[in-house]
Amino acid sequence: MTDNAYHCRRFEGQTAVVTGAAQGIGRATALRLAAEGARVIVADRAAPQADAVRDEIRAAGGQAEVVLADLETWAGAQQLAAGALAAYGHVDVLVNNVGGTIWARPYWEYAPEEIEKEVQRSLWPTLWTCRAVIPHMVERRSGAIVNVGSTATRGVFRVPYTASKGGIHAITVSLAYELAEFGVRVNCIAPGGTNVGQRAIPRTPTPPTERDQQWMKGVLDQTLQDTFIKRFATPDEQAAAICFLAAPEASYLTGYVLPVSGGTPI
């Protein structure tokens, strides 16, 4: 943001809510939206990291507020919607980015409670946050929602996660049908392998075992093998696609699931 990387102001006067904005793709998206003029709600449950993103936006001359919420719950989604409206009065853009594989292993190796946690982590935040924010967009007859799915729907060792992301792809299309008459667009990106660096907060409660590491290597190997460009994406490349789908020039696009994957299909 400090090197004038973005010269357009596509989101001037708009408010954008980005979930999971404390790191990775969410952070890159929040920074880009702010650089293009949006007032950004940095939504996360990791206070120090979320505060750091807010401060980075403000230091570059942008506007941002933090709303801390557990979006795996309906109460957390309501808290986010209320916080966004209290801060800026309206929501124009919603980016549902929360989610991510907790474990990588053959399906039959998952404990039942692990399956539930994967779905709780990667499906419910999008369902709950859409439910909390959509009534406001319908009332204003305007809005753009961008969900974050995954090309993992064709991958190995992550069945509960892929079920969740496949659900997000389906949610996108169904909501696009329902919301078109109200002027609300709903689209989705399906990221391929993306190098987000070292996570500030590990997803797994305990360090991975040697077997876990081998299964994760299988995930990474397959991802790279299936990618035409033969490298992982950067968070900025994913953020660019998200911002395009949210922007006014995409006004005739709704109900699409866009692979941002270097050629990997979904």
161 is catalytic: yes
Which contacts qualify for 76-83: CB closer than 8 Å, 24 or more apart? Answer: 76/45, 76/128, 77/125, 77/128, 77/129, 77/131, 77/132, 77/133, 78/132, 80/17, 80/19, 80/41, 80/43, 80/129, 80/132, 80/133, 81/129, 81/132, 81/133, 81/136, 83/41
Which tokens is 181 given? 């008459």
Distance CA 232, CA 84 (A): 33
What is the DSSP secondary-structure string of 223-254? HHHT-TT-SPBPHHHHHHHHHHHHSGGGTT--
In this structure, is the dihedral angle defined by the CA atoms of residues 167, 123, 134 and 42, taken in order, positive or negative?
negative
Which tokens is 204 given? 């797994």
What lies within 8 Å, CB to CB, of 121 at 6+ separation is 72, 98, 99, 100, 102, 164, 203
- Of the candidates 161, 177, 252, 256, the residue annotated as catalytic is 161
Residue 102: HSE in the Cβ half-sphere, 13 Å Cα cutoff: 19
Instruction: Show the CA angle centred on residue 15, arms to residues 18 and 244, nearest 5°.
Output: 65
Q: Which residues are catalytic?
A: 161
